[in-house]
Amino acid sequence: MNKQEKESYLREYALMKQEGKPFFPYAVAKDGAMAAVVMLSIILMSLFLGAELGPKADPTTTTYTPRPEWYFFFLFELLKVIKPAELVQLATIGVPTICMILLFLLPFYDRSPERRPERRPIATTAGIFTICAMGYLTYLGAHAGPPTQIDMETPPALVAQGGEKLEQFEAGKQVVTQSGCAACHKFGENGNDGPGPDLTDIAARLPEQAIARTLINPTAPMPSFQNLQEEEPEKFDAMVMYLSQLKGE
């Protein structure tokens, strides 16, 4: 905007303002009505949806599903869209930070004097695209339930062997499903593909010790299972044993 455009805007605006009405009571009445609607909707949501308290926080537990508040779903889903491990930083911090900086600096790179949305095709398209993308990611996040079932076949060799090994395998499978691993990892047909890597054939890629190490000292944002290992080592060992049998289908 050059000086002439600035002055012409200010002149036009002053005229519009002259033709307008005083803030009190005209705008205040609308604001008040809207405030009443907001208050009423908060009260109704509180009455009908309540404020349920889940079970008490327990650092040693294995039955949890880390789920953020719904308006953070789009950030969480971003982790699943951007897959490769070397790009995780980009998804977790990079993209949101870049978006925030772009948002902050918006008036400084969009300097045209035009204000009508239909005459600012780039800005309007970008705005609608952002809204759609956020809406779509939120929708995905809302529907990506934490599956608590894994339908992968037990390796036939293990079934033939039977006995203690098979029992440990089943116990490990139970720990893995209860721990909500499938919220972030894929197991054959089950589970969410990301943010974490596919675990269908994890044993083909990692030896047993490496799996145990990763569980205790994982790559962020995965939570550590160190507490489980210290408190209930047999459950932890079962988990490691189960994962070390996943060689793909």
Partner 1 sequence: MPKLKLPAPPIPLPKPLPKRPGAPRQTPVETATEAGISAVDWVDERTSLSGAARWMMFRKVPRGTNWFYTLGSSTMFAFLSQAVTGVFLAMYYRPDAAGGAYESIRYINNEVFLGEFVHGMHKWGSSVMVILIFLHMARTFFFGAYKYPRELNWGIGVALLILTMAMSFTGYLLPFDQRSYWATIVGVNINGTGPLVGPYLSDFLRAGPEFGATTLSRFYAIHMLLIPGIMAALIGAHLYLVAKLGTTAPPWLKPSDPVKKEEKA
Of 4, 86, 104, 249, the residue at the interface with partner 1 (CB under 8 A) is 104
- Per-residue x/- marks for partner 1, 70-89, CB under 8 A? xxx------x--------xx
- Closest separation in Å from C-beta 188 to partner 1: 24
- Closest separation in Å from C-beta 93 to partner 1: 4
Residue 187 backbone phi and psi in degrees, to 5 = -125, 100
Task: Compare residues 20 and 233 and give the one whose CB is closer to partner 1.
Answer: 20
User: Considering only 22-30, 138-146, 170-178, 229-237, which stretch makes contact with partner 1 by CB under 8 A?
Assistant: 22-30
Contact 63, 197 (CB under 8 A): no
Contact 236, 229 (CB under 8 A): yes
Counting contacts by CB under 8 A, is residue 18 touching partner 1? yes
Task: Compare residues 73 and 169 and give the one whose CB is closer to partner 1.
Answer: 73
Contact 73, 142 (CB under 8 A): yes
Structure tokens at 92: 């977790």
Please give the full DSSP string across 181-229, using - where no structure is assigned. GGGTSEETTEE---SSPP-TTHHHHS-HHHHHHHHHSPPTTSPP-HHHH
Counting contacts by CB under 8 A, is residue 129 touching partner 1? no
Task: Compare residues 203 and 228 and give the one whose CB is closer to partner 1.
Answer: 228
User: Considering only 119-127, 144-152, 165-173, 231-239, which stretch makes contact with partner 1 by CB under 8 A?
Assistant: 119-127
Cα–Cα distance between 178 and 65 in angstroms, integer? 9
Cα–Cα distance between 76 and 111 in angstroms, integer? 33
User: Considering only 15-23, 148-156, 162-170, 198-206, which stretch makes contact with partner 1 by CB under 8 A?
Assistant: 15-23
Counting contacts by CB under 8 A, is residue 34 touching partner 1? yes
